[in-house]
Amino acid sequence: MTLFLVGCAILLALAALFVLRPGRRGRVREVSEANMDWYALRLRELETDGDDTLVEDARLRMLEDMPSEEQQPPSRADHGTAPVRRLPLLLLWVPVVVTATVLYWQLGSAGDVAISQRLTALDENTADVDIDALMASIESRLEARPDNQGYLALLGRYHMTRENYPAAEQAYRTLAEKAPSDARAAAMAAQASYLTAGRRLTPDAQLLAERALSIDPMQRTALGLLGMAAFEQSQFRAAINYWQRLRELEDPGSPGAEMLDDVIATARSRLGEDGGQPAAPSAGPDGVPGANTAEQDSGVALLVRIERPGGGEIADSDTVFVLARGAESQSRMPIAVQRLRGADLPATVRLDDSNSMAGQTLADAGSLRVFVQVSPNGAPGAENASFTGVSEPVTAGDDGAVIAIELSPTGR
């Protein structure tokens, strides 16, 4: 910040130099030098002609063109009167500097620069009182910059760590309003609302979590929150569905995967099912979990066949989202979702109620469309997809009919 202020001071000094430095002296000197050059040139011409009368006449004309006393540059002895002549220019420079300073302080980013430097200086040894002071500065700055989403996210996270859940909820709700396509903002707002209400999922918080899943069907916070809330409300089947999708995001054998295995087993035991570790879904003819096999449970389902496109390359690491949505619905919230890798294609995928979102069932959905999105960066949404495909309206059933979806490049 000190370097920034020094730079501003130097620029203001340069501006003052241009405003206050008089230009008349240079102009008079230029006129005098031009006259002398002309006189020397003319004198050489006349000396060549040998006419003394014309030479004398040129000298007289040169004397007539010399600057008068009023036009002479001020001497050092005259400097005492310079401030009087420069006073109007000084009066002009002062308001220019003051106006520029005030406008920048109000409209510029000096406050943001200071906050950024303080954030950069944070480490594990920073005292809590310094962190509290920094967050107070961010809250104050946010009043002048209410659209700064970075500040809102920082405040939300800060209040969550301080267990000030109402303040965190307010920050995340504001962020979710200003960034409607941010799945994490909606999920964090739902989580803060859940904690504010004493670990009770209000209808409003559930809508926020479901909105997060409509943007990103694999949003970790939303899946975990809805699974936990469903379990606490004894909706064990819904809890299992959420947690199974969340487990797909964990590495096999990781602590997170083991923890989810435990809670899924607990939910199964509450349902009177096998309380052991949940079995991995059996693979179909293509070796893909969720494919149609004789071992799959009977019931309402959609069987989707996805082939590799002939006009483009799908990397093995690409993420393939298979989503079922209501054919007439305006909501982006999928009713069921499966996630594969590019290496799994071609594949036949089964969408059933074990893949359903927010406790919905395929049987109750009526007419459906199946969407396939291939995402190189792993983010859901057609805007992130390199290949997409969509089915005609279909109805979920148990007749075993397979829906073939052709993938087309999006040009991204």
CATH number at residue 353: 2.60.40
Task: For residues 314 and 258, state if they share a domain.
Answer: no
Question: Is 27 a member of any domain?
Answer: yes
Burial label for 191, CB within 10 Å (0-12, 13-18, 19+), is buried
**Structural domain includes residue 361:** yes
End-to-end, the C-alpha distance of the chain in Å comes to: 42
Letter for the amino acid at 174? T
User: Considering the domain boundaries, does residue 25 fall inside one?
Assistant: yes
Is 173 among the domain residues? yes
The predicted structure's pLDDT at residue 190: 95
Q: Cβ(148)–Cβ(180) under 8 Å? A: no
Question: Residue 321 and residue 385: Cα distance in Å, rounded?
Answer: 10
pLDDT of residue 390: 92
What pLDDT does residue 318 have?
Answer: 92
Same domain, 263 and 308: no
Same structural domain for residues 334 and 397? yes
Phi-psi map region of 391: left, alpha, beta (phi>0 left; psi -120 to 50 alpha): beta
Domain count, the chain: 3
What is the pLDDT at residue 320?
Answer: 92
State the DSSP H helix or E strand holding residue 369, giving kind and residue range, or none if neither.
strand 367-375
Q: Which of 79, 107, 135 is the last residue of a domain?
A: 107
Residue 364 is which amino acid?
A: D
Walking along the chain (412 residues) 10 residues at a time, the average pLDDT comes out as 66 67 51 62 63 61 55 48 55 69 63 76 83 89 86 93 94 94 94 92 90 88 91 86 88 88 90 53 44 44 85 85 84 81 88 71 81 89 89 76 87 72
* Res 326: pLDDT: 84
Instruction: Show which of 251, 270, 289 is a domain's final residue.
Output: 270
Q: Are residues 259 and 154 in the same domain?
A: yes
Question: Distance of CA 264 to CAs 240, 292, 293, 322, Å?
Answer: 6, 23, 23, 23
**Confidence (pTM):** 0.57
Q: Torsion over CA of 177, 179, 181 and 182, rounded to 10 degrees?
A: -100
Instruction: Give residue for tokens 């999928």.
Output: 334
Query: Would residue 120 count as lying in a domain?
Result: no
Q: Which residue segment(s) compose the domain that 190 sits in?
A: 147-270
**Helix ranges (DSSP H) in 121-199:** 128-144, 149-161, 165-178, 183-196
**What order do you get walking across the sheet with 347-352 strand by strand?**
347-352, 301-306, 402-405
Q: Based on the domain organization, do 156 and 258 belong to the same domain?
A: yes
Domain shared by 155 and 55, yes or no: no
Q: What are phi and psi of 408, to 5 degrees?
A: -125, 145
pLDDT at res. 336: 84
Strand 402-405 to 301-306 pairing: parallel
- Asked if 315 contacts 387 with a C-beta cutoff of 8 angstroms, the reply is no
375 assigned to some structural domain: yes
Q: Distance (Å, rounded) from C-alpha 203 to C-alpha 218?
A: 21
* Residues 333, 262 within the same domain: no
pLDDT of 230: 87
Specify if 321 maps to a domain.
yes
CA distance 230 to 224: 10
Residue 227 lies in a domain: yes
pLDDT score, position 42: 61
Both 320 and 378 in one domain: the answer is yes
Name the 3-class secondary structure at 302: strand
Shared-domain flag, residues 154 and 264: yes
User: For the purposes of burial, counting CB atoms within 10 Å of the CB of 188, is it exposed (0-12), middle (13-18) or buried (19 or more)?
Assistant: buried
Report residue 190 as tokens.
């739902």
259 with 356, same domain? Answer: no
Residues 215 and 255 in one domain: yes
Same domain, 306 and 265: no
